[in-house]
Each structure stands twice: as structure tokens, then as C-alpha cells.
Chains A and B, each alone.
Chain A
Amino acid sequence: MAAKENILERLRANIGERFEMPNIAINAIHYDNVVEKFAETCRTVSGADVVMGTPAEEDERGETSTVHGDIGVAENGCIWIPQREADRSFLFRSEHLNIIVKASDIVSNMHEAYARISESEEYFKDYKYGTFISGPSKTADIEGALVYGAQAARSVTVFIE
């Protein structure tokens, strides 16, 4: 462990002025109709389809997979999906992903979303992974042309219950 000691030693010797941690309080954007804004962002920013309601039946894992999201974020269409089963690869391997979110779980911005995650004891207990997903996989790597379905889901439908 010489490397660790050497690195820490150099840091201790070299760090100059030590700055205080600021109090993180951002006067962040807030939407009165947070559900409507979330639906709009999912369509326009994330590039997902939005359905008010529940999917008819939960599809078999395969071409299409269905998953429950715990938090929806209106400012950017992100949906928090903690890992709940041993294999998470279906989230990325499926051609199409249905994500179900409760209207009461939609917040305005990422600060609120992260506050909820920190407060919850449930996440990272059984499986040590969680992700925010905002729409289908995208790329613009070939001459800047936006293409959906770079590697993971090619399309996403968000169901708001």
C-alpha cells in the first residue's frame, strides 16, 4: 500500500488553503403542475412516448420489458430505477422499455430527487446499483445526426399512474 501512503502524504504536504464546504441551497426551478411538465419533458426532451395509465399487461422479458420507476424528474425526464432483481441487464438489452411512475412520485428537479434517494433506506440494500433513465438510448456520434437506439433501448414508453 505504498502508493496510497505516498499519494496521501503528497496531498497533505501540498494542499494550500483549505476551503469551507458551502451550504448547498439552490433556489431551483419549480413547476406548479409537475405531472404535466414531466409528461411534456418526457416527450420533447427524452424522446419517449407518454401514456396516462397502466400498461395493459406486463410483457415477458424479451423484446419489451416493463419496470417500475420510483421518482420522475420534471426538469429533464429522468426516472430513478433502482436495481430490484439479480440481473439488471434487461434494462439495457430490451429493444423497448416500458417505465411506470406514480404521479405522486414526480418532483420538479434533481435536487429533490437526490434528497429522496438519500432519505430512503431501501436503495442499495439488496442490489448495489441504481440509474436515472431519460428516454431511449441516443447517439449523435456519426456526423452529429441524432439517432435513437445507439446501444440500449430503442424506444421507451413512460406510463404515469
Chain B
Amino acid sequence: MSTLHSKRAAEYQKNPDTVTHHDQTFYNVRAKRDRMAQALPEWEELRDMADRIKRHTISHLDTYLEKFEAAATTNGVHVHWAEDADEYNDIVYSILQQHGVKKVVKSKSMLTEECHLNRSLEEKGIEVIETDLGERILQMMKLAPSHIVMPALHVHKEDIRDCFKAQIAEYDEFRRCFYETQNKPIPEDENDADPTMLTFVARLHLRNQFMTADAGMTGCNFGIAETGDVVVCTNEGNADMSTSIPKLHIVSMGIEKLIPDYKAMGVFQRLLARCGTGQETTVYTSHFRGPKPGGEMHIVLVDNWRSRNIGNREHWQTLKCMRCGACMNTCPVYRRSAGYSYSYFIPGPIGINLGMLNDRLAHSGNVSACSLCMSCDNVCPVKVDLSHQIYLWRQQLDDFNCANPMKKAMSNGMATLFNHPQLYVNTLRLAPLANHVPHSLMHNCLNPWANGHEMMKFPKKSFHTLWKTIKEEK
């Protein structure tokens, strides 16, 4: 019985070039993160502080949420609370409806993915335009994100070109405009797929969207309880474009995003981009503290699964996560199996854990996607003990009937063996017999561990026997 992850990963392995490319792309981001960490003597001090601030804030979330709401309300912001995805989608729709909104421009937000907001709004006739370039590409191609920070890095530029050509009516004009502004001759081959040109085409395409949208939506990287700020960090500036043209701004925010004050913000700002993309900072770190003149600003605080897990002694620390993506970039399993192998929309070590908190029956298959190398624990800026938690989830699989019966039988067998020394020694003596097991018997569908592995050769004499002989010879 293999998990969905291992089946999909096996499918992904069929194209080794894609795997190698994916692996190297994200390993490079991990290496850039390492250079950032090594350049700051206070790196570990920052991580330690970030961990402690998050522990404090998460364990005082009740009081900080009230503080945040009060501050934001004083600033003239409307604050809403949603217990689950449906309530959240309804709140957003009713705000949009009250303003007669037909088109929304949106910057990246994992929470809206979690709640399937786009689908819900589109069903009600509202046009939703993602404005982060990667997200926009995926939206046009009808694909899901494969990473939380670099969502479309797995898509090839030729496919992006084809998609733009088919869906952006002014493609030829924008392309010509690009070469003119660069003072370069327009290539004869109409099928050029230069990333700079494609980005320029998307820039002009998205500018039209910003100008014609009735509302802007953003996520929230950090909510500052003391002052009511919503902080959004981007490299493209699309969150700022989305909110500085339309009059209405709606923020979607998971309740765990709070931090106490500006002093804490300094710690997290320094860690986020360094960990996520290996940059000293994102290009824009924007503080939204209230509506524009003549405009309106709303914040929707979303719970969904958070408050019911905050009491989980073993797993509450997952709530410290600030979605930097570092644990994915370093994860050998993520790098070689890619985002779509996981059943939850957030992949990698943090996605495994978030999926389990959200819906453990639906996503328990992902807990096998971990080699327990613990690299994620070591890169996480807020010290979420990711691999330890995955290990704990595996121990609990049986409690909700998701344990793999074959692995369980083997573990029970091993337990018997290791708990009975004499049986262990006798079994070892017989081990070389395994050398004569025919290859076909080991390499069959019942034994997934034989995939890509050869059976070890047992030596004629075990270490135990050798040790005894040496001792006796002395």
C-alpha cells in the first residue's frame, strides 16, 4: 500500500531531467539562504528571538487579537472574523457586493488558496485577477501553485509564451513595444520566449487590470497588534499596485499572523527574505494602517483550523510558521518530488504539518514524504520542529486508522526481534541465507523498498560472531 505522495512522486521520477532541474533550482535558493545566514554574525540570535516572540504571541493570541482589532478599528479599518472558509468567503463576497465590485485584483495569499476564495467568487460572477506574476501565469494556465514563494518555477518559458499568446489579446503589440523600448530589432522568429520580454508583456497586461479593477485584495505577512498595521512583503510591488489604484482594500489574514510591535517586526523583516529567497530584503515592505482618502479598508481574520489546534501539545508550534518556504527548498523529498506530489496545496515539510492540522484524514498520506534528515528544522527561522512533528504524526497514524499495515507488521516484527536478544543473535546467524534469495522474489510489487535499491550482501560471519572469536583467541 503506497501513499498518494509516493505514487505521484514515482510518476514525477519518470522524467529525470525535470527532476534534476527542479532539484537544482531549489537547492540554489537554499544555498543563497545559507550565504545570507553566514553573512550575519547575529543569525542564530535572530532565530532564537523569532522563535521566542512567536511562542509568546501564539500563546497569547486571544489578547493580541483583541488588541489588534482595537488598534485597527481606531485607524478606521473594518475588522471581520470568520470561523471557517465558508464564512470567510461569504464575508468577502458581501463586502464586494456592497461596493458593486465586478473585478478584483489580488496579490498572493495562501489563505485565499486554503479557502478556495477565487472559485467561490467566480461562481458568483466576480472576476478575480491574480497579480503576482507567477500566480497570474498559473491562473491563466489553470494550474495550482507548486511552491508557496516561487509558485510557477516549474513551468517552462515556452509554455508561458504559448499561454500569453493565446490569452493576451495585445500580445504582439506588447512584444513589439518591448523591443522598441530596448532599442533592439524585433526577432524574426515569433516564437522567442525571452523571460525579460515575457515579463514585460505581463507587466503591460497587468497594468490594464489594475486600472480597471474595482477592488484590491492582499494577504498579510505580519499583523502588528499594538498599531494595527498589516505588513505585506513583495518583490514585484503588485500588492502596492493592487491597493493604490482601486478605492477598496480587503486584507485576508490568518489569526496566527500577529506579532506584538515594531520592535518584533525588525526581527522578522530581517529573517523573511533571507530565509525565503536568499535576498537581504524583499523590494517592498509595505505597512497598511488604514484606508486611502475616500477609500475603505477591511481586514478579515480567519480561524478555520487554528484555534482548535492551539491546544495540541505536540503540534501547536506549527502555528509559529511565517511561510518563508525555506523548509521546502532544503527538503530532499520536496526537491525531487515537487509540489504536485503532495495532497495538500502547501507542499514540503510545513505543508505536511499544516495539512495534518487542517484535515488529517485527507492528508495523512503526506507524512511518508520525509526522510527525517531534519534539515528543515535547522533552516526554519522560527524553529518549528518540523521533522519531529512529522515523526509524531507517523506514530499517531494508527489512531485514525491510516497506518500502512505492511510497515506496521514489519515494525512489530522488528520490535519482537530487538526486544529478545537471543532471538536476534540466532536470526543474524541465519542472515547469510538471504544472499540466496532469488532477485525476482525481492524485486516485486510487494516490496517497494527494493525500488532503486539492491539487497545488501550479508557477510558469512556476523559482527557478533567475529567479536566472540577475537575475544576467545586472546
Contact = CB atoms under 8 A, between A and B. Distances in A.
A61 interface: no
A24 B267 contact: yes
B281 A77 contact: yes
B281 A22 contact: no
B56 A22 contact: yes
Given A10-B307, A11-B61, A15-B61, A131 B285 contact: yes
A67 to B, nearest CB: 13
Contacts of A152: 236-238, 240-241, 284
Given A11-B62, A29-B41, A139-B236, A129 B287 contact: yes
B35 interface: no
A22 B66 CA distance: 21
A62 B25 CA distance: 38
Contact of B200 (A3, A26, A149, A153): A149
Contact of A138 (B55, B236, B313): B236
Contacts of A50: none
Given A138-B235, A150-B236, A153-B237, A19 B52 contact: yes
Nearest to B77: A128
B255 to A, nearest CB: 7
Contacts of A113: 266
A118 interface: yes
A135 B281 CA distance: 10
A145 B196 contact: yes
A136 B244 contact: no
A150 B263 contact: no
A21 to B, nearest CB: 5
B162 interface: no
Nearest to B200: A149
A141 B237 contact: no
Interface string B257-281: 0001111111101100000010111
Interface of B: 25, 28, 40-42, 45-46, 49, 52-53, 55-56, 59-62, 65-66, 69, 75-76, 81-83, 87, 131-134, 137, 150-153, 156-157, 160, 195-196, 198-200, 202-203, 206-207, 227, 235-238, 240-241, 244-245, 255, 260-267, 269-270, 277, 279-293, 301, 303, 307-308, 310-311, 313, 316
23 contacts: A13-B311, A14-B308, A15-B60, A15-B62, A16-B316, A20-B56, A22-B53, A26-B267, A29-B42, A75-B280, A76-B270, A91-B244, A118-B261, A130-B287, A132-B284, A132-B285, A134-B283, A134-B284, A137-B235, A140-B277, A141-B151, A141-B199, A150-B235
